[in-house]
Structures are given as C-alpha cells and as structure tokens.
Amino acid sequence: MHQPGSSENVRSARQRFFEAGQSPRGLVSETIIESWRRCRASGLAAGQRLEVGPLERAAFEMLRHQYEDLRRLCRPEIEALYGDAKATGSMVILTAPTGLILDALGNAEFLDKAARVALRPGVSWNEEHTGTNAIGTALHERRAVEVRGAEHYFGAHRMLSCSASPILDGRGRTVGVLDLSGEASVHHVHALGMVRFAVDQIERRMLERELAGREVIRLHPDAALLGTHREGVLVFEEHKLVAANRYALEMLGADWSEIGRCRYDALFDSARPGGSRVQPLRSTSGVEFQARRDLVPSHLVKAPRARGAIPARELAPVFDACLDAELQRGVRLLEADIPILLQGETGTGKEVAARELHRRSNRASGPFVAVNCAALPENLIEAELFGYRAGAFTGARREGAQGLLRDADGGVLFLDEVGDMPLALQSRLLRVLQEREVAPLGGGKAVTVDFVVVAATHRDLDDDVAAQRFRPDLFYRIAQARLRLKPLREHPARGELILELWCALGGPAAGMKLGALALARLAAFDWPGNMRQLLGVLRALMALGDAGATIGVDALPAEVREARAPLPAPACRDERDVSPLGKLERDAMQAALHACAGNVSEAARRLGVSRSTLYRRLGSAPTSAR
C-alpha cells in the first residue's frame, strides 16, 4: 500500500481534487490539501501558465539593502547548507517575510533549472503568487513545511522538492524564510531537519539581541539539554515576559500572544531560580523542568554593524520610546483597518514610525510599500501607483507593470508627503480606497486589493482642505486617526537619546566617546532638521573621529558649537543666574574632576577639552601639575 505523499497517491489526489472536485484526504497531507484549497479560492488555476517575473533591478537592490541585517545574520547557516546543496544538486534560499527571494546559492546546474520556473532572486514565492510551495505554505502555516513534486499547486513546479521554515524573532514575528530546494526525482531525506536546525541557530542568535539588561530563564525537562539549541529561553523585564523562543512556548503550552503581557507568576508556581545553578522549576500546569537563571548586564549588547550604519527600521526602539503607547494604539487601529495620518516636521521620522506600525501589526508578514508623493514626477505618478498594460503610453515597459498599489496587497501602503499629491490624482486614489479595486492604465480588469493606509505629511492638511488644495473627502478617508511626531527640540531627554543613537551607530565599539561638553552642546541644540539632521551630524563625527578618541566641542559643526547660551561668570554662585546649558557644562566638569580624584589632566582628557578651558570654565586656578 502506498503511503500518503507517494508519487502514485499524489497523482490520484490531483485527479480527485482538480478534476473530480473531491477531497483527496488520506492521499496527501492535510497541509497540502488546505493549501490547494486556499489557492483555488484565490482564483489560481493549476493548469494556467504561470507568469511571474523578478522585481526591477533598482527595486530589488533596494529591498536587499533593506534586509541586509537579516542576510548577514543568516549568512553562517546559508553557507553551511550551501556545501550540502552543491553536493546534492540543490540550492539554499533566503526570503523576506513577504516570500520574495533575497538570496539563492547552490549547485550551478540546478540554479539554472530553478530559474526556468522563476525560483530565483527577486521573485515572490508566497502562495498568492505561486500557489502551494514550501516557502509560501511555511509562511502561511508559520512552521516548517515540505512540499515535494506534484504536491506543488502548479504543474510547472512538480520538478521541485522543497523544505522551508519561517524564521521567527523573540516576539514571534516572521522575519524571513529559509528554504532548501532540489530536484523531486532525488529524495532529500534529511532536508527538512537540516533547515529546522539552521533556523534554530539563526533564531538563537537573534534572541541574544533581546537579552541585554534583562532576566533570562533557560529551561528543559532534561538538564543535559540546557545550553543547546533545544533549550527553552524566556526573557523577562520587571517580571513581564518580553521575548522567548518557540521551544519554551511549546514546553509551557503557551503561544506568542503571551509576549508582552504575561507575567512570571502566570507561568510558574515555583520561585525564580537563584544564582546561575540548575534548579527544579514547576509550571502552573504542573510540569517539572530543570532551569537556570541568568542576569545579562545591560552593557553586553550585540556586536555593532559597520561604523555609522544603522537601518532606519532599527531607529524606532531608540527614538520612539516616548511614543510607544501611541504606536500600540496605532497598531490596534491598523488591525481594525482604520487609516492613520502621521503628522510632523520634516526629519521627525515619519517613515520609521510607519515601518514600526507595520512591524508590530498583524500585517507584518505582508509588504510595506512606501510611496513618496512629492518625489514622483507628476506625469508618472499615476502609472507608478496604478500600474499599466503593455503599450499604455510611450516609454512603457513591454510587459507592463502592476503598480505600487497592487504591490502593497496584504500589507501596508505608506503614502509619504501625501499633501503634495496632485488634485487630479487624489480623486482616483479616493476611488481605490473606497472600492478596494485597482484598474491599470490602458484598460483591463480591475483587481481587488487589500491593504491598510498609513499617510504622512509635514503640511497642515486642515489648512490645505480649507484652501481647496486638498480634497476633503480624501482627507477624511486617510485621517480617521492621527498621530503627531514631536520635533526633536521637544524631546524630554535629548542627552539620553543622543547617547543611545551614538551607541547604536557603533561609536563605543569603535573606541570613540562623546565628551560630556560635546554631549551637552548637542543636547542643547534645537535641531531644525530633527532626527535626520542629528543622525547626519553623529555619522560625520564618527567618520572623522579616531579610535580611542573622545569627541570634544571643537569637533562639532559650527552651527552646533556656536548656538549656545552665554556661559556663567566664574564668580557666579546663584543657580538662578546660571543658564541651563552653563549649569550642565559646569556639572559635567565637576563630575569629571570628582571621578578623576582631582586629576585635571585626566578630567580634561575625558571631557575632550584642554586643561586651560577646564580651569577657565570652573573659575579656578591650577593648583597641581597633574
């Protein structure tokens, strides 16, 4: 008798499902059957000619740059699998959380064969585009999946045997997919196990980024497996669970929804383990574990990336801490399909906030498509948004284009500087938002789309509506909820923020320190260009600084160095007569002297100023040659 999934049973299953319209239960796995049903429900015909092409080169390179951190993180496992892939005539694939292939390495002969069925970088392999396949189905199921031969929805893919697993971060968000694909004629017995092991290693390193300054509990029923990739890891902050790995949640019978809201005593009856010894730990369901507790010092952070490089998506945890409650509120609105308008001055980080909303929402596995309404030429913006049929206008690509609105299907459409959108285009966009259908230029059938809108502007759209520069019906459609991003000058703790950014940019790792006076000047500056201007200055300081150096006031740009309140006279003793900046500088100097036990030379070196400057600002005369 043939086992479910055997070639004969799959052939029978396809006949029963696609030709007779009957359930093929028992012939293939339920995972495959459910995927076939989803594909059929979405309008895919198994016999149709599959027409999928890669992104344009510029768009693809931009996307790869966006996921550069993920690519670097996965590189060791990809290279390890690559050795096996070459030997077995297979390939290793890394995709973005949308299913779009970022990297593909492996046997040159098989890479060529795979490219003929569009299994190559720049092509999306989610189920909606390419039917049942390991990448797309693993994304939908959020677990490791194997799809072999004719189990693929489209006939052209039956040459493939694919094993894939989603990569989840410590909060359960899908950040990518790792896949091992080969020829279906060769049975790759251990492929799925190899992929699972590789993903375990990736997720383990990813979770390590969550540990700094937090309490970590490692557990397993078998003490011998503590410290291995199979151990459960729970990360707590003030007794609240803030991150975990999938093994810990499986052991406790919990799910990812517990992250961020579940407390220690809701998970365990036993007190927290003390010290670093392995101790018994009982869960609230009565399961006994062996556990160890670690307290990871806050200074033990991940190794920094190249000096001065910090992707925009990683700025959100740094400068949006004060907006966290507003962002959480925004996520709830997005998940209720309510558009959000972000308002703020230029450089306040509106796109970063939009990406953070997308990352936290239930659409995180879908695309984030950003459209700068002010940057697109007016004569091309309609074609870029709505797409066009082949030959729709002079200069159009021969194959046409589906447009950015369709690219955003299933995710978030970010309309940056929406206030600069031409009036004529506003009415057409409004129709799309109302009807949820996109019709390409040049005619053709309208296509249903599903995305949620986040718009942003530095303009006062209320005034623009009153002046008839912006359509009121579109305004009320996109501004059902508003979130204001404060300018940097209103940030309550600019000094702390600047230090966090300096660390994130890699300053300490490069052996460079911001002197206390330089930090005071940076914190006191108004920053008319907001976060964008601040980051530019910090990157410049880092590029010009030397390893082991302390960045002093003299290294600051002139506009920052000179824009300060007058310093107090040395004889001043009344705190009410001291400017805020002057008091900050004086306190920094006195603290440095105290820390250096009165050694003026050492204090001046730490502050990044000369000894004479230190004497002059504190109003004291040199009493020692130290």
| Proportion of the chain above pLDDT 70, given as a percent | 79
List for the chain the helix, strand, coil content (%; round to 5): 45, 15, 40
Taking residues 203-221, what's their average pLDDT? 87
| List of long-range contacts for 101-104, beta carbons under 8 Å, 24+ apart | 101/125, 101/135, 102/63, 102/64, 102/67, 102/70, 102/71, 102/176, 103/71, 103/78
- Is there a contact between 141 and 31 (Cβ–Cβ < 8 Å)? yes
Surface-to-core class of residue 615, CB atoms within 10 Å of its CB (0-12 exposed, 13-18 middle, 19+ buried): middle
Q: Mean pLDDT check: name the lowest of 38-47, 79-88, 381-390, 589-598.
A: 589-598
Cβ distance 154 to 46 under 8 Å?
Answer: yes
- DSSP E strands in 458-590: the ranges are 481-484, 513-514, 550-551
Mean pLDDT of 313-332: 65
Tell me the percentage of the chain whose pLDDT exceeds 90. Answer: 32
φ and ψ of 504, to 5 deg: -65, -30
pLDDT at 371: 83
Cα 203–Cα 126–Cα 333 angle in degrees, nearest 5: 75
Which 8-state DSSP code applies to residue 19? I
Does residue 300 carry a pLDDT above 60? Answer: no
Q: What is the pLDDT of residue 243?
A: 94
DSSP string, 197-237: HHHHHHHHHHHHTT-TTSEEEEEESSGGGTTSTTSEEEEEE
Overall average pLDDT of the 139-167 stretch: 94
pLDDT of residue 610: 61
> Averaged over 7-32, what is the pLDDT?
91
Q: Give the model confidence (pLDDT) of 115-125 as tens digits.
A: 888 888 989 99
Mean pLDDT of 363-386: 75
pTM of the model as a whole: 0.50
Q: Mean of the pLDDT values across residues 23-50?
A: 90
Angle between helices 516-524 and 494-505 (to 10 degrees): 120
Task: Please report, to the nearest 10 degrees, the dihedral formed by the alpha carbons of residues 14, 20, 25, 28 taken in order.
Answer: 0
Residue type (1 letter), 588: A
Residue 580 clears pLDDT 70, i.e. is over it: no
The pLDDT of 347-366, averaged and rounded, is 86
Query: Using 50, 70 and 90 to split pLDDT, how confident is the model at 391?
Result: low
- pLDDT bin (cut points 50, 70, 90) of residue 153 is very high
User: Over 90: is that where the pLDDT of 447 sits?
Assistant: no
Predicted pLDDT of residue 577: 37
Highest mean pLDDT pick, 319-328, 335-344, 383-392, 574-583 = 335-344
Contact call for residues 168 and 144 (beta carbons, < 8 A): no
Q: Look up tokens 């285009």; give the residue.
A: 425
Which band of pLDDT confidence, cut at 50, 70 and 90, is reported for residue 593? Answer: low
Number of H helices, E strands in the chain: 25, 19
Q: Which of 478, 376, 378 is nearest to 433 (CA)?
A: 478
Mean pLDDT of 214-219: 91
Q: Which amino acid is at 197?
A: F
On the question of pLDDT at 223 being above 60, the answer is yes
Task: Look at residues 380, 449, 398, 364 and name the one whose alpha carbon lies nearest to residue 53.
Answer: 398
Window from 230-244, 408-422, 494-508 with minimum mean pLDDT: 494-508
At 530-563, the pLDDT tens digits run 888 888 888 888 777 777 788 888 889 888 887 6
CB-based contact 364:97 (threshold 8 Å): yes
Closest CA to 432 of 448, 419, 409: 448
Task: Identify whether the C-beta of residue 92 lies closer than 8 Å to the C-beta of residue 82.
Answer: yes
At 35 the three-state DSSP class reads helix
Mean pLDDT of 219-231: 85
- For residues 46 and 179, the model is more confident at 179
Q: Which of 371-380, 482-491, 539-548 has the lowest mean pLDDT?
A: 371-380
pLDDT (tens digit, 9 = 90+) per residue, 420-431?
888 878 888 888
Domains of the chain from N-terminus onward: 33-193 (3.30.450.40), 209-295 (3.30.450), 312-484 (3.40.50.300), 493-618 (1.10.8.60)
Residue of higher predicted confidence among 208 and 573:
208
The stretch 484-509 carries a mean pLDDT of 80
Name the more confident of 597 and 138. 138
Which pairs from 115-122 meet CB under 8 Å and 24+ separation? 117/50, 117/156, 117/157, 117/159, 117/160, 118/50, 118/52, 118/53, 118/54, 119/91, 119/93, 119/160, 119/181, 120/54, 121/54, 121/60, 122/54, 122/55, 122/60
Q: Which of 77-81, 253-257, 305-309 has the highest mean pLDDT?
A: 253-257
Which pLDDT does position 412 carry in this prediction? 92
Taking the C-alpha atoms of residue 174 and residue 258, their distance in angstroms, rounded to an integer, is 16
